[in-house]
Structure 1
Amino acid sequence: MLRALEIRDMLIIERLELEFQPGLNVLTGETGAGKSILLDSLGFVLGWRGRAELVRTGAEQGEVVAEFELPEGHAAWAVLEEAGLPASDELILRRVNTRDGRKTGWVNDRRVSGEVLRRLSETLVELHGQHDDRGLLDPRGHRSILDLYAGAGESLTEVRRRWRAVGTARKELETAQAALEAVQAEEEFLRHAVDELGKLDPQPGEETELDARRRMMQSAEKIRDDIAQASSALGYDGAEGAMANALRWLEGAADKAEGRLEAPIAALARAMAELDEAATGVADCLEALEFNPLELEEAEERLFAIRGLARKHQVMPDDLPGLAADLSEKLAALDAGEARIGDLRKAVDKAEAEYDAVASALTEMRRTAAGALDKAVAAELAPLKMERAVFQTAVTEATAGPDGRDMVAFTVATNPGAPAGPLNKIASGGELSRFLLALKVCLTEAQGRGATMIFDEIDRGVGGATADAVGRRLKALSEGGQVLVVTHSPQVAALGGHHWRVAKRVDGEVTLSEVVPLAEGEREDEIARMLSGDTVTKEARAAARALLKA
């Protein structure tokens, strides 16, 4: 509920402080007195987009402060929590507009963007009037209005969940199909490459090992003859035989040499042992150098095959095993792709069927609620002297989406036999006001009271008993809540629980607007003025008293 509104230096308002009350609050005054400026100022602090130039001439900045009372469970609490703002049962909005056009807003002394103010405003205030493009007259919002009336919140949530599931299933299918198509485009290459790699079967480190073996075998051909000659020189026909003969000859002469040959014989024996070790090592080397010439050819052929395949695939030789595994995996995915596509198509069909079921149930709920809403509005139109008018909620098929498969539009026919058409194109100004009021009464009964409702001259174009009926509907709407009405109708003004008069005054050469709360006696004067004009007659006063007592 709007508790207070403070305005400073906005348009023709220098300073204004208003304290509003629960129930029906009415604002009256002559045309041009500044009633619309109050709404412009309230819209400004709520973040609505409106006039560009709001600062009063001569002032550096304009400022509006609005104080709201938030009952427990009010929708604004969730907005405050989501925005990380402090919350209590008192909500204070403040917004400043500087001369150069900069706008700054605060919520409970925390600086916020205009978007946060607008989101809060959606929970705090409802504005209704002949130019109500924010609500009932906007065809894009009719489906949401009908859903609120139907209490379709849970069903709508389920439809949206199923729609997301459809989107997820379709996305998975599209991704899988794209992947399969990409693999299919290189199927021939994949099969050839996997076959080629499989036949060669390269192993990690094999290229290095083959290169070392090849180099060794190539070197063996060059050094083997020298090593063989050295082996022959060290053998029995060479050094070994000569040394053995020398040792045998020396040992035969040692007994007669009186010990002079013992040292040479020992040295020769040691030399024989070293010679044997050398000969054994040379023989081992010769044996190691023994290879089949075909082995060198085979090693070179495999080495060149591995290197050639690595160049072909632009990888290092040691990366070929990993490449083979990757290509084999792609080929396996290709072979299994059609089966997976089939499974994903089934998943899409299942998700779409589940969506169809809940969307159809929501459509039926909307059609049932549409019929109930039409009857409820018809019942409200009768007291408003429009008993012959027809209000109809059209529910037609639309493209499937997260909110179902329905398009909703409010249509009216103001005269019997006349074709029905859009609410904002068929009805005249006065008729439109009454349609809006009847519809709002029905919606309020269905969805409860939460926001402060503001009606801007919704009674324009009606008078007499019809204006009285409008006033009584507004009074009924205000019970248990808060309604603010800008009105030119004395019948409506008389039914208000709280009354303010908006007037202009001239201070020197400056025109200013002021708003004055009216006591009971003052209300009689104001209503009499509304009835008779500038000259208030006795008859007008008597009529005003009668209206106030009614």
Structure 2
Amino acid sequence: MLRSLDIRDVLIIDRLELAFQPGLNVLTGETGAGKSILLDALGFVLGWRGRAELVRAGAAQGEVVAVFDLPAGHAARTVLDEAGLDSGDELILRRVNSADGRKTAWVNDRRVSGEVLRALSDTLVELHGQQDDRGLLNPRGHRAMLDAFGGLDADLAAVRAAWVARARADRLLAEAEGRYAALKAEEDFLRHAVAELDALAPVPGEEADLDTRRRMMQAAERIREDIARAYAALGPGEGAEGRMGDALRWLEGAADRADGRLDGAIAALSRALADLGEAVQEVETAIEALEFDPSALEMTEERLFAIRALARKHGVLPDDLAGFAEESRARLAALDAGAGDLRALQQARDQADASYDAAAATLGAARRSAAERLDSAMAEELAPLKLERAAFRTDITAAEPSPEGRDTVAFTVATNPGAPAGPLNRIASGGELSRFLLALKVCLAKGTSPLTLIFDEIDRGVGGATADAVGRRLAGLSRTAQVLVVTHSPQVAARAAHHWRVEKRVEAGATLSSVFALDPGARVDEIARMLSGDTITDEARAAARSLLAG
């Protein structure tokens, strides 16, 4: 609900504070008093496109502040959250227009763009008038209005869920078909590669192990001959070990006759002989270790070279061949299973299509039923508004599938029997259009979220019983929503719960506009003025009291 509107230095308004109330609020006053300026100011703070320059002559800037009550669950809270703005029970919109044309906006003291303001305005205020291009005249919103009127939230949610499931099934099938086509294109390569890899059966680390063994065998072939010569020179028999053994025996045989002169030599030679024996044993072990079968070297080299060649062929490291083999086998298995997988995904897609078709058909039938009820409700509303000869019809035609179903909805009207039906804004005249819009809003009101509804001279061109019917319907709307009406009709003004008079005055050569809340006595005079003109007679006051009495 719009709680207050504070205007500073806008057009012919110097300072104005309005505190609006729940229910039906009316603004009256003479033509040119500034009623439309109030709507311009409200549209400005809501980010609507309007007059380029709003700053009062001689002022540095114009400013408008609008304060709204924001109940829990209000749609504006979602907009605030998406914009990263705090939301409480009160929403304060402020917008400034400087004299040089710059416009700046704030929401709850946080600077925002005009786009955020417009997004908020869609959840806060709905304007209706003879040039109603933001509301009921816009065919793009007719389907949503019909759905709200018919209470089709559950059916619509089912269609949207089916649409999401259908899109997902389509995506999964398309992705699987793409993968299968790619695998099919390389089927020959995969089968050959897997056969090669399975035949070789490489394992991680094998290439390094084969290379080490190969190097050892190549080295052994070169050094074994030298080691064998060393062994012959050191070993028993004609080698150093045999000759040192002979020398030790000869010295030991002569030791008894040498009076101890050979003891040191015998001891040293014994130690040397022991060390020499250990060396001979190590050399012998080395010779045994270096013994190999020449065919083993050939086999090692063949496998090593085969692994390296296959790694080069597939552009991977030798240690990655085993993983590449596993991946290739998996791709080949996917190819072999692909046809079956595609059939399953096609069945899932067909089932999703059928589910969407069923949900869309159910929603379409519900929409046609709601359209019949809306057309009947409109027929009842048009008669009291002196449009009993007109025919309102909700046209539903086939549309491309979408998350909203497969229907296009358009509100059409024929103003005279036998005349062709067409869009509201092309068929109805100004006065007729206002009444059509009011009747339509009355019918649709029960299915819409709570907004502040603004009607700008929607009663233009009607009077008497028709104007009274307009007033009654506006009062009926105000029982579930705050309604603001700019009117010249005394019958409408008399139905208001809260009444303001807009006046124009001249101060120091400047024309200024003011707004005054009217008490019961002042209301009588204002409605009497609307009935009789500038000269208010007792008869006009009596008629005004009669209208106020209902």
Tell me the equivalent position of 1:145.
145
Tell me the equivalent position of 1:220.
220
Question: Taking structure 1 as reference, are residues 297 and 455 closer, same or farther at Cα in structure 2, changes over 3 Å only?
Answer: same
Tell me the equivalent position of 2:25.
25
Q: Distance in 2 between matches of 1:120 and 1:318?
A: 62
**CA offsets 1:72-117 (integer angstroms, 9 cap, x no match):** 66555665566552423x5443332222344344445455544444
| 1:433 CA displacement | 1.2
Q: Distance in 1 between matches of 2:488 and 2:424?
A: 24
Question: Taking structure 1 as reference, are residues 402 and 209 closer, same or farther at Cα in structure 2, changes over 3 Å only?
Answer: same
Q: Percent identity at matched positions?
A: 68
**CA offsets 1:289-333 (integer angstroms, 9 cap, x no match):** 222222222222222222233333333332322332333333333
**SS class of match (1:415):** coil
| 1:402 CA displacement | 1.4
**SS class of match (1:7):** strand
TM-score (norm 2): 0.89
| 1:379 CA displacement | 0.5
Q: Determine if contact 1:374/1:393 at 8 Å carries over to the other structure.
A: yes
Q: Determine if contact 2:450/2:480 at 8 Å carries over to the other structure.
A: no
Does residue 278 of the first structure (1) align with residue 279 of the second (2)? yes
Q: Distance in 2 between matches of 1:329 and 1:51?
A: 68
Q: Which moved more, 1:182-191 or 1:419-428?
A: 182-191
Q: Determine if contact 1:163/1:355 at 8 Å carries over to the other structure.
A: yes
| 1:263 CA displacement | 4.3
**Match runs of 1:265-344 below 5 Å:** 265-344=266-345
Does residue 379 of the first structure (1) align with residue 380 of the second (2)? yes
Does residue 48 of the first structure (1) align with residue 48 of the second (2)? yes
Q: Determine if contact 2:234/2:280 at 8 Å carries over to the other structure.
A: yes
Question: Taking structure 1 as reference, are residues 17 and 264 closer, same or farther at Cα in structure 2, changes over 3 Å only?
Answer: closer
Tell me the equivalent position of 2:405.
404
**Match runs of 1:53-452 below 5 Å:** 53-70=53-70, 75-76=75-76, 84-88=85-89, 90-235=90-235, 236-444=237-445, 446-447=446-447, 450-452=450-452
Q: Determine if contact 1:81/1:87 at 8 Å carries over to the other structure.
A: no
**SS class of match (2:458):** coil
Q: Distance in 1 between matches of 2:369 and 2:263?
A: 131
**SS class of match (1:144):** helix
Question: Taking structure 1 as reference, are residues 274 and 442 closer, same or farther at Cα in structure 2, changes over 3 Å only?
Answer: same
Tell me the equivalent position of 2:485.
485
**SS class of match (2:357):** helix
Question: Taking structure 1 as reference, are residues 101 and 204 closer, same or farther at Cα in structure 2, changes over 3 Å only?
Answer: same
Q: Determine if contact 1:85/1:110 at 8 Å carries over to the other structure.
A: no
Question: Taking structure 1 as reference, are residues 38 and 291 closer, same or farther at Cα in structure 2, changes over 3 Å only?
Answer: same
**CA offsets 1:508-530 (integer angstroms, 9 cap, x no match):** 44332223344555545544554
| 1:392 CA displacement | 1.1
Q: Distance in 2 between matches of 1:45 and 1:441?
A: 27
Question: Taking structure 1 as reference, are residues 309 and 76 closer, same or farther at Cα in structure 2, changes over 3 Å only?
Answer: closer
Question: Taking structure 1 as reference, are residues 319 and 510 closer, same or farther at Cα in structure 2, changes over 3 Å only?
Answer: same
| 1:138 CA displacement | 0.6
Tell me the equivalent position of 2:502.
502
- Code of the aligned partner of 2:288: E
Q: Distance in 1 between matches of 2:2 and 2:511?
A: 28
Q: Determine if contact 2:139/2:410 at 8 Å carries over to the other structure.
A: yes
**SS class of match (1:143):** helix
Q: Determine if contact 1:394/1:410 at 8 Å carries over to the other structure.
A: yes
Q: Distance in 2 between matches of 1:547 and 1:313?
A: 95
Q: Determine if contact 1:66/1:93 at 8 Å carries over to the other structure.
A: yes
**SS class of match (2:312):** helix
Tell me the equivalent position of 2:511.
511
Question: Taking structure 1 as reference, are residues 281 and 529 closer, same or farther at Cα in structure 2, changes over 3 Å only?
Answer: same
| 1:499 CA displacement | 3.1
| 1:145 CA displacement | 0.4
Q: Determine if contact 2:255/2:261 at 8 Å carries over to the other structure.
A: yes
**Which runs of 5 or more residues in structure 1 are unaligned?**
none
| 1:136 CA displacement | 0.8
TM-score (norm 1): 0.89
Q: Which moved more, 1:59-68 or 1:263-272?
A: 263-272
Q: Distance in 2 between matches of 1:338 and 1:98?
A: 69
| 1:173 CA displacement | 2.3
- Code of the aligned partner of 1:221: E
**SS class of match (1:340):** helix
- Code of the aligned partner of 1:484: L
**CA offsets 1:104-146 (integer angstroms, 9 cap, x no match):** 4444545554444434433332211111111111100001101
Question: Taking structure 1 as reference, are residues 301 and 525 closer, same or farther at Cα in structure 2, changes over 3 Å only?
Answer: same
Q: Which moved more, 1:376-385 or 1:220-229?
A: 220-229
Question: Taking structure 1 as reference, are residues 102 and 286 closer, same or farther at Cα in structure 2, changes over 3 Å only?
Answer: same
Question: Taking structure 1 as reference, are residues 151 and 252 closer, same or farther at Cα in structure 2, changes over 3 Å only?
Answer: same
Question: Taking structure 1 as reference, are residues 250 and 522 closer, same or farther at Cα in structure 2, changes over 3 Å only?
Answer: closer
Q: Determine if contact 1:125/1:454 at 8 Å carries over to the other structure.
A: yes
Q: Determine if contact 2:3/2:20 at 8 Å carries over to the other structure.
A: yes
Question: Taking structure 1 as reference, are residues 276 and 154 closer, same or farther at Cα in structure 2, changes over 3 Å only?
Answer: same
Q: Distance in 1 between matches of 2:497 and 2:247?
A: 145
